[in-house]
């Protein structure tokens, strides 16, 4: 396999785009090498500029749960396009999408569409602050909620009361109201809530942490968050940008049976187009402008072409509950096979899997916290990644991202990825 055409354009790209990309992880910095420049996708396959074919386990980082170029979604987009790309005025499709979401997702009555997951989270946090009149929010180390200022924080020295920026350009002020707790550790949340009584507007969590690999919530963790939020009068926000419509039609609330006060969506909700949304009960959502005092707006929000793509994909998911058993079964099969191969070849490995998400970590120890994820041998991951790429398996180019199993993956695709992994693990 060669990447000569990708390499040539990557050289050009690095002159005009920081790192040659428009989102950092695409640059392959964590694994080294040349990122293949993609020209086309169909079903579970993608092709790059050099004509290499891959089975894709990224799916645009989650959105493409039905696979690439899914004909009904493409047709819906083409049909919508014929009438124009944007009006900045209400369209009926926005109402259709909102009604479908209210139907699919538990505990929500109203929705506001935005253009990305980042925007959904940023807006939901403002709503939580607006309705509670409190400033602080609690997030979890290793959970990613997009790149808004308040979410780019690390636990600071005075971590019980104040976070520190973890990106240049984020002010102390913006980071200072964000507190950082430990995933799967209720005591760490309780300590923050106790130290900041009546100051915390919301606890925001990825119900399955899927931006530090894949770390499922332990039994009682999400239930415990619900209880703590109720006891302290703050809102529980599920960031379902990955888990929404992926774990189940109703996302993590349905999958785990735990209610959130606000949910944020992105990725799958747009079917591959740039869409995000936040949603909740009427009593909260009515506080958003123009009915309430919390301002939030968007020139392209509810864009008709994006809505058409999202609606069609969601409608198909709504009509096919069996898809969720199917993707979970395929993910379980892959996880089992990886564990067997690792054992056979004496490679230390822990494979976490939840629904259609999985992640192999190169460590013997169980991975249930952010600290555990950091024990993975990143050199082994690099070798695994490049070995898989060479064998036509396109995985996320970082240890700390999920492997996404989609409806489009065939039984043969799963057998192929398992066989490739077995061959690669034999060389480690
Ligand atoms: C991807 C992601 C975001 C950010 O969404 P963008 O559309 O990239 O802005 C937020 N939260 C979670 C959980 C994500 O995985």
pLDDT, one tens digit per residue, over 130-151 is 999 999 999 999 999 999 999 9
The residues, ordered by sequence, that sit 6+ positions from 157 with a Cβ below 8 Å of its Cβ are: 164
Q: How many CB atoms lie within 10 A of CB 71?
A: 10
Give the span between the Cα atoms of 372 and 377, in whole angstroms. 11
112 alpha carbon – ligand 1 mean position (Å): 16
Domain endpoint, select from 277, 295, 319: 319
Instruction: Choose the residue to mutate in 147, 242, 273 for probing ligand 1, maximizing ligand atoms within 8 Å of C-beta.
Output: 242
Active site residue 144: yes
**Residues of the chain with pLDDT > 90: what percent?**
98
Query: How high is the mean pLDDT in each 10-residue block of the chain (428 residues)?
Result: 97 98 96 98 98 98 98 98 98 98 98 98 98 98 97 83 91 95 98 98 98 98 98 98 98 98 98 98 98 98 98 98 98 98 98 98 98 98 98 98 98 98 97
Active site residue 185: no
pLDDT of residue 134: 98
Residue 306 belongs to domain spanning = 71-319
267 alpha carbon – ligand 1 mean position (Å): 7
Domain endpoint, select from 319, 338, 371: 319
Instruction: Choose the residue to mutate in 23, 143, 144, 152 for probing ligand 1, maximizing ligand atoms within 8 Å of C-beta.
Output: 144
Best CA proximity match to 341, nearest among 258, 406, 422: 422
pLDDT of residue 154: 86
CATH of the domain at 369: 3.90.1150.10
Query: Could you say which of 70, 144, 278, 324 is catalytic?
Result: 144
275 alpha carbon – ligand 1 mean position (Å): 11
Active site residue 267: yes
pLDDT of residue 158: 77
Secondary structure (3-state) at 334:
helix
Contact (CB, 8 A) for 293 and 49: no
- Are residues 304 and 363 both part of a single domain? no
pTM: 0.98
pLDDT of residue 307: 98
Q: How many domains does the chain have?
A: 2
Rounded to the nearest integer, the mean pLDDT of the chain is 97
Best CA proximity match to 96, nearest among 241, 308, 269, 300: 308
Question: What one-character-per-residue DSSP string does 73-118 give?
Answer: HHHHHHHHHTT-S--SS--HHHHHHHHHHHHHSTT--EEEEESSHH
169 alpha carbon – ligand 1 mean position (Å): 20
Best CA proximity match to 174, nearest among 142, 117, 132, 136: 136
Instruction: Choose the residue to mutate in 145, 208, 260, 262 for probing ligand 1, maximizing ligand atoms within 8 Å of C-beta.
Output: 145
Contact (CB, 8 A) for 37 and 10: yes
- Are residues 246 and 346 both part of a single domain? no
Question: What one-character-per-residue DSSP string does 207-237 give?
Answer: SSB-SSS-BPPPTTHHHHHHHHHHHHT-EEE
Q: Where are the alpha helices (DSSP H) in 22-91?
A: 71-81
- Are residues 328 and 267 both part of a single domain? no
Q: Which two tokens stand for residue 223?
A: 């239930």
pLDDT of residue 156: 75
- Are residues 55 and 186 both part of a single domain? no
- Are residues 315 and 349 both part of a single domain? no
CATH of the domain at 255: 3.40.640.10
Angle between helices 304-319 and 71-81 (to 10 degrees): 150
């Amino acid at each position: 396999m060669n990447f000569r055409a990708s390499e040539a354009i990557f050289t050009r790209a690095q002159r005009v785009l920081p790192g040659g990309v428009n989102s950092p992880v695409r640059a392959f910095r964590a694994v080294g090498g040349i990122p293949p420049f993609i020209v086309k996708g169909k079903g579970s396959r993608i092709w790059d500029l050099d004509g290499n074919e891959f089975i894709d386990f990224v799916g645009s980082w989650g959105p493409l749960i039905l696979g690439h170029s899914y004909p009904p979604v493409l047709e819906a987009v083409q049909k919508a396009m014929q009438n124009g790309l944007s009006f900045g005025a209400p369209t009926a499709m926005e109402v259709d999408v909102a009604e479908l979401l209210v139907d699919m997702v538990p505990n929500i009555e109203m929705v506001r569409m935005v253009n990305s997951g980042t925007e959904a989270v940023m807006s939901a946090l403002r709503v939580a602050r607006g309705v509670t009149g409190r400033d602080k929010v609690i997030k979890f180390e290793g959970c990613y909620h997009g790149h808004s200022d308040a979410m780019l924080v690390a636990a600071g020295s005075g971590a019980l009361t104040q976070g520190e920026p973890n990106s240049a350009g984020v002010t102390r002020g913006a980071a200072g109201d964000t507190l950082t707790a430990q995933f799967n550790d209720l005591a760490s949340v309780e300590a923050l809530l106790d130290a900041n009584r009546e100051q915390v507007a919301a606890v925001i969590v990825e119900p399955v942490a899927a931006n530090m690999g894949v770390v499922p919530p332990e039994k009682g963790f999400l239930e415990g968050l619900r209880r703590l939020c109720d006891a302290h009068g703050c809102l529980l926000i599920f960031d379902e940008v990955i888990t929404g419509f992926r774990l189940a039609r109703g996302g993590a609330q349905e999958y785990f049976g735990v209610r959130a006060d606000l949910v944020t969506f992105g990725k799958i909700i747009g079917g591959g187009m740039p869409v995000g949304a936040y949603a909740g009960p009427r009593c909260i959502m009515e506080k958003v402008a123009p009915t309430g005092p919390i301002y939030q707006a968007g020139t392209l929000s509810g864009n008709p072409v994006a809505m058409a793509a999202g609606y069609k994909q969601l409608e198909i998911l709504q009509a096919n509950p069996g898809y969720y058993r199917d993707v979970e079964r395929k993910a379980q099969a892959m996880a089992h096979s990886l564990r067997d191969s690792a054992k056979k070849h004496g490679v230390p490995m822990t494979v976490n899997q939840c629904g259609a998400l999985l992640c192999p970590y190169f460590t013997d120890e169980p991975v249930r916290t952010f600290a555990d994820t950091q024990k993975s041998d990143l050199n082994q991951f690099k070798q695994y990644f490049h070995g898989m790429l060479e064998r036509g398996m396109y995985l996320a180019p970082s240890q700390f991202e999920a492997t996404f199993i989609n409806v489009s993956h065939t039984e043969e695709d799963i057998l192929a990825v398992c066989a490739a992994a077995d061959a690669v693990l034999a060389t480690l």
